[in-house]
């Protein structure tokens, strides 16, 4: 069972790290946004962090509900990525109440592994409107030959993108690396096989794909 006090402490510390133009999550944001229709009513961003994606979603949605368990992340988001149609909320999504069939898009990036995965899939089934979409970008544990081939091949592109976008060889400086490694000790990830098994059980029409930079995407339309 996830200890959300630890998660909150970790991400409050992470919130104080320097900003990077490119990282392993935001490099996929534009791809994810292609699955979000224009002029939707309500979008829920679970694990919004500093609000970069929430702001992008606010250009396509009349209302964005952006939730994060870390209060320092929410403080940063309100300063860095404020918009009149974004409601930033500090809280645990597991404790929040939403009407069934009330949300057009539920999106979460690098957060699903902190949630009970079956709960997340069932939550989406209940809360999304007919035609609504669940969009997940998250990390997975390498297990298969394909995992090792695809994610192993990311080594050189990762260096290249850091040089081009961040003007450095590595994404993190020594302090940032230490903070992320400390958080990583608390993280556990499912394998692609486990993810596909649960998706087949609850949302069998979901489309799941490995992404290059140690991520996968899951897209499901209700």
Cα atoms found within 13 Å of the Cα of residue 212, Cβ hemisphere only: 14
Tokens of 12: 């409050």
pLDDT band at 1 (very low <50, low <70, confident <90, very high): confident
Is the per-residue pLDDT at 169 higher than 80?
no
What does the pLDDT read at residue 173?
A: 72
What does the pLDDT read at residue 162?
A: 93
* Helix, coil or strand: residue 156: helix
CA distance 138 to 148: 17
pLDDT, one tens digit per residue, over 192-221 is 999 999 999 999 999 999 999 999 999 999
Rounded to two decimals, the pTM is 0.95
Q: What share of the chain is helix, strand, coil (3-state, %, to 5)?
A: 45, 25, 35
CA distance 169 to 99: 47
Is the per-residue pLDDT at 170 higher than 90?
no
Instruction: Name the range with the highest mean pLDDT among 16-20, 83-87, 173-177.
Output: 83-87
CA distance 13 to 73: 9
Residue entry with tokens 């597991």 = 94
| Phi, psi values for residue 107, rounded to 5° | -130, 140
pLDDT band at 93 (very low <50, low <70, confident <90, very high): very high
CA distance 166 to 164: 6
Task: Set out the domains of the chain in order of their start, with CATH numbers.
Answer: 4-221 (3.40.50.150)
Is the per-residue pLDDT at 174 higher than 80?
no
Is the per-residue pLDDT at 52 higher than 80?
yes
Average pLDDT of the chain, as a whole number: 95
Tokens of 155: 């080594």
Residue entry with tokens 């940063």 = 76
* Helix, coil or strand: residue 207: strand
């Amino acid at each position: 069972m996830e200890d959300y006090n630890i998660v909150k402490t970790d991400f409050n510390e992470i919130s104080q790290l320097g900003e990077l133009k490119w990282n392993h999550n935001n490099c996929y944001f534009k791809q994810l946004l292609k699955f979000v229709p224009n002029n939707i009513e309500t979008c829920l961003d679970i694990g919004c962090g500093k609000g970069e994606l929430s702001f992008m979603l606010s250009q396509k949605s009349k209302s964005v509900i952006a939730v994060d368990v870390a209060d320092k992340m929410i403080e940063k988001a309100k300063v860095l990525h404020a918009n009149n149609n974004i409601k930033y909320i500090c809280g645990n999504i597991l404790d929040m109440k939403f009407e069934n069939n009330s949300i057009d898009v539920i999106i979460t990036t690098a957060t699903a592994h902190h949630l009970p995965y079956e709960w997340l899939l069932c939550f989406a089934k209940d809360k999304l409107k007919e035609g609504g979409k669940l969009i997940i970008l998250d990390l997975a544990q390498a297990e298969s030959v394909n995992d090792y081939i695809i994610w192993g091949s990311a080594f050189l592109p990762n260096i290249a993108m850091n040089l081009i976008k961040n003007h450095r060889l590595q994404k993190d400086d020594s302090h940032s690396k230490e903070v992320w490694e400390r958080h990583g000790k608390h993280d556990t990830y499912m394998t692609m096989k486990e993810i596909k098994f649960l998706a087949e059980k609850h949302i069998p029409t979901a489309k799941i794909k490995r992404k290059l930079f140690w991520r996968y995407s899951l897209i499901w339309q209700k």
